[in-house]
Amino acid sequence: MSVRAEVAAWLAAEWDPATMSAGRPRTEFVAAVVEAGWAAPRWPRRWFGRGLSDDDGHVVEEEFRRVGAPGSGQDRHNLYAATVLSFGSDALKERFVGPMLRGEVAMCLLYSEPGAGSDLAAVRTRAVPDGDEWVVDGQKVWTSSARTADYGMLLCRTDWSVPKHRGLSFFLFPMRQPGVEVRPLRQITGESEFNEVFLTGARVPDEHRLGGLGEGWRVLQTALAYERSVMGDRARAGRSDRGMAEVGDELVRLAAETGRLGDPVVRQDLARVAALRTVNEWNALRAKAEVEQGSSSSVMSLGKLAMSRILHESARVRTALAGPRAMVEGPEEPIGDEATFLALNAYFTSIGGGTDQIQRNIIAERILGLPKEYEVDRDVPFSEVRGG
């Protein structure tokens, strides 16, 4: 039986949208997807996969999309489970990979700091060994979901005597403990999706370390590659939850509703958005050909940067189509309200997952082969680096 026929037969037996809408918990169905190996079909069977090729993995995802079923494609999109699978010990994988795939563990990313956002290698959150644990002190910022997270992926400094990239370690950090304080940050859109996190004498077991001691930068690059891949895929799919600008057909519909579909300037704007999405799809195929499990691809930065361009451009076109209504906020003027929100929210995409400027640096240096940007502190022990 072909992979397509097998997954289609499984879905025919297990997936019933009517039952789901009538009360079958989504978590129950996703748990069945995980146990059947469809959640992460490219991974080994030991880790809830089926050992399929990448092409067959896409077939599985296509069949799930065809019937509107959730849970598949997590070997590409679940950055938490993928990072643990790539760098965790067997004991850590046994404990966390399954629950992460089933959505039983709430997670956040503890990367950025007030003085280390674009340059994550400059983080100053400190971890000091104490027996078989580490004591952590520092501050993180722009942390999504920190208020509800059970664990966070923590980048911190464990060695100050070596240059900044070599003194970092990466941990699966328990959030629900004394010494962890989370404060929400209010955004320009009025939401509070992000937080600052203060760590004071908090603890993390050494067995929760991902990768070797001092190898946190390598682990981070893989985790960021997964994050950028997710963000790029969202732009290609044109997902339309309120945090993402709608593209493609939605903009065409709006142009028709406002009587502007025949306007040659508007049509050119729509074509520009479509062109950006198409180029992003090509780059996604290029990245897929390069990336392997446990590695990262610089081409992912093209997808992340393209997502930012797509959402900014889509917001600009939507604002132009809304006209003066784009200055009005509130439910009484839904077209203007949505245009305003998406125009403001697009700036988040230029920051999250690495700023647009950082993506351009990566593309210039690692893809185009241009000379690296000079770093005065690259080979200096971090304890000697001047900080503001």
Q: Residue 173 corresponds to which tokens in the numbers above?
A: 């950090």
Question: Which residues fall within 8 angstroms of residue 180, CB to CB, at 6 or more apart?
Answer: 197, 198, 199, 202
3-state SS assignment for residue 156: strand
* CA distance linking residue 122 with residue 370, whole number of Å: 23
Torsion region of 105: left, alpha or beta (phi above 0 gives left; psi -120 to 50 gives alpha) = beta
Q: Residue 383 corresponds to which tokens in the numbers above?
A: 């304890």
* CA distance linking residue 108 with residue 307, whole number of Å: 21
> How many residues are listed for the chain in this entry?
388
First-to-last CA distance in the chain? 63
- Of 63, 227, 313, 338, the active-site residue reads 227
- Residues 20 and 28 sit within 8 Å (Cβ to Cβ): no
Helices (H), the chain: 3-14, 17-21, 26-36, 54-67, 74-77, 79-87, 90-102, 216-237, 249-257, 264-290, 300-322, 334-349, 356-362
Q: Residue 101 corresponds to which tokens in the numbers above?
A: 């795939």
Is 292 annotated as catalytic? no
Amino acid at 246: E
Question: Which residues fall within 8 angstroms of residue 77, CB to CB, at 6 or more apart?
Answer: 226, 229, 230, 233
Active site residues: 227
